[in-house]
């Protein structure tokens, strides 16, 4: 492999992957991104133009996707509508991007016999009870609970079907919640960090007992590259860094790290159908492919993330006021 097509590569997780690839390999990268509100060409700023090309376009555009796939040795499919709140207010874009977009890419990969790696989420498995000692594994049945997670589950099944029925050389990874640079301020961790920077009290859904298994975006990127290069075709790998924290703990850690009282936040009405707990068992990835995370300590990764948002206000400021106005209209 020398040429990668990365869909959604101007978004949060995708842009971190592009940076990681440029810094750690000699691959050339074409990014296909619709540059919706969640995509930002500035997230790719500073990368060498000789190795990274940004194409603005939609993954449902069959002609465009076909041409770009024909030029690539592998497709790494990050592009997705991914915000749970948005999926509850307006589900249709999630169907268009996550289902039809994935189908369009799979058809191109099938035609050109292109290696395909699909990025998914642990939310396809539903949630676990707060006192349940179990964690998600590759054998956990799907049980999605939102329009977002349902469409991601559907896209996973399409990838498996195209592998079995048409021989597409595909792998899938389901990852836990990411945090790190270039994440839109609508998301939980950057919203709280940027609120504190702006002098706004952070907001916490309900009692804040919901648990997420956090992983730094750099660790997600290293895992995806490992699967792309070493993973067995047709297999699914779960990516996690043993970063379970409840939302209350995360907010309080952010406040503490930023020199504020740990209780300087407000509770707001909980999200409808808010999943209780996600937890990833990444044993297969670690034992079969030898992957380990760099940020095994959540606190150190969080401190690095806070520093990035402090140093890069020009990146997030343009969308901050609009995001907070939207949440305020929902009482959140």
Asked if 123 is an active-site residue, the reply is yes
Q: Which of 123, 186, 213, 281 is catalytic?
A: 123
Q: What are phi and psi of 103, to 5 degrees?
A: -55, -45
In sequence order, which residues have a C-beta less than 8 Å from that of residue 132 and are 6 or more positions away?
277
Q: What angle do CA 95, 161, 159 make, to 5 degrees?
A: 55
Tokens of 295: 């940020």
Q: What are phi and psi of 18, to 5 degrees?
A: -60, -45
Q: Which of 148, 237, 278, 309 is catalytic?
A: 148
Q: Which of 28, 33, 81, 122 is catalytic?
A: 122
Tokens of 282: 């990444």
Asked if 278 is an active-site residue, the reply is no
Catalytic residues: 122-123, 148
């Amino acid at each position: 492999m020398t040429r990668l097509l990365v869909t959604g590569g101007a978004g949060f997780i995708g842009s971190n992957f592009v940076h990681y690839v440029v810094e750690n390999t000699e691959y050339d990268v074409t990014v296909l991104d619709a540059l919706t509100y969640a995509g930002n060409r500035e997230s790719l700023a500073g990368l060498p133009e000789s190795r990274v090309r940004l194409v603005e376009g939609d993954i449902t555009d069959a002609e465009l996707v076909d041409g770009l796939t024909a030029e690539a040795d592998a497709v790494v499919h990050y592009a997705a509508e991914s915000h749970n709140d948005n999926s509850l207010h307006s589900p249709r874009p999630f169907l268009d991007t996550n289902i039809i977009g994935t189908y369009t890419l799979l058809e191109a990969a099938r035609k050109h016999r292109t290696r395909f790696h699909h990025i998914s989420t642990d939310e396809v498995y539903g949630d676990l009870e707060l006192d349940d000692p179990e964690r998600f594994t590759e054998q956990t049945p799907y049980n999605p609970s939102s329009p977002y997670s349902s469409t991601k589950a559907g896209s996973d099944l399409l990838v498996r079907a195209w592998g079995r029925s048409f021989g597409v050389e595909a792998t899938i990874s389901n990852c836990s919640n990411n945090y790190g640079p270039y994440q839109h301020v609508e998301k939980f961790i950057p919203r709280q960090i940027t609120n504190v920077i702006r002098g706004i009290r952070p907001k916490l859904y309900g009692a804040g007992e919901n648990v997420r298994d956090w992983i730094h975006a750099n660790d997600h990127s290293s895992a995806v590259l490992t699967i792309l290069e070493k993973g067995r075709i047709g297999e699914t790998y779960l990516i996690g860094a043993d970063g379970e924290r409840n939302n209350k703990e995360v907010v309080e850690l952010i406040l503490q790290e930023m020199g504020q009282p740990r209780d300087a936040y407000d509770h707001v009405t909980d999200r409808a159908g808010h999943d209780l707990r996600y937890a990833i068992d990444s044993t297969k990835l670690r034992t079969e492919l030898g992957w380990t995370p760099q940020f095994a300590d959540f606190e150190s990764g969080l401190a690095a993330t806070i520093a990035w948002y402090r140093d890069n206000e020009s990146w997030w400021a343009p969308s901050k006021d609009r995001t907070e106005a939207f949440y305020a209209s929902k009482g959140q």
